Amino acid sequence: MIKSLTSQLGIKGHLTVHKVVDGQEELVYDEDNVIVSGFGWALAHLYGKVGSNLITDYQIDRFKLGVSGASALQVSTTADLSGSLSSALDYNSTGDSNLATVSGYRWENDNAITATNWYSKIPFSKVTKIDSRTVRYTIFIDEDSCNDLMRDGNPAALNEIGLFIKNPKASATETSVLAAYRYFSNIIKTSDFGLVFRWTISFG
């Protein structure tokens, strides 16, 4: 499926991750990402007129970070992160984070998974048209965000991220669908630095 989305529709993505210290950026990751089948699922609902009537419900406007990324998830059938951050406190433990979190459900194929999911919003000002076929999402994780994560009593590294489409079936509780996924090298996040994710998606 990923090959057909990339080769037939020409949809492809690329992710860079920079560590930010005192305003200076250091590149720590630079790879293509996977456009997953949820992207096509949402488009089918849009063009088939069986989803939301609001175009804003089809926007990629949120993301998740996780701590269990793996190469096995770099496939088009991936529907969620393996180890998503599981609470608003994971994103903003101090109350001073720049991140705005929202809760909701998610779609997995045609099944609504109604366990609470936590997302962080992507401000519209951070979505940029690069050229006639390319858009870039810039996600800034500041020094007060996602710090000192623990799992099973041990420090946990950020190593996966996913972009989600807002609410393609206009569900009463916003129910999002994964559009793109990437695992990356382990990053133990602390208050000593911020992170910038620049995610570029090209069409054709």
What string of H, E and C letters represents the secondary structure of the chain? CHHHHHHCCCEEEEEEEEEEECCEEEEEEEEEEEECHHHHHHHHHHHCCCCCCCHHHHCEEEEEEECCCCHHHCCCCCCCCCCECCCHHHHCCCCCCCCCEEEEEEEECCEEEEEEEEEEECCHHHEEEEECCEEEEEEEECCCCCCCCEECCEECCEEEEEEEECCCCCCCCCEEEEEEEEEEEEECCCCCCEEEEEEEEEEC
Give phi and psi for 97, each to the nearest 5: -65, 155
Q: What is the pLDDT of residue 73?
A: 81
- pTM for the complete prediction? 0.94
Q: Token pair of 152, please?
A: 């099973």
**Mean pLDDT, contiguous 10-residue spans, the chain (204 residues):** 51 95 97 91 94 97 95 84 95 89 95 96 96 96 96 95 97 97 95 97 90
70: which strand partners?
none
Strand partners, 202: 12, 134
Residue 125: the pLDDT is: 95
- Total Cβ atoms within 10 A of residue 35: 22
Residue 145: per-residue pLDDT? 96
Q: Report residue 129 as tokens.
A: 């048209």
| β pairing state of 24-35 and 60-66 | unpaired
CB-facing half-sphere around the CA of 180: CA atoms within 13 A: 25
Question: Which pLDDT does position 34 carry in this prediction?
Answer: 86
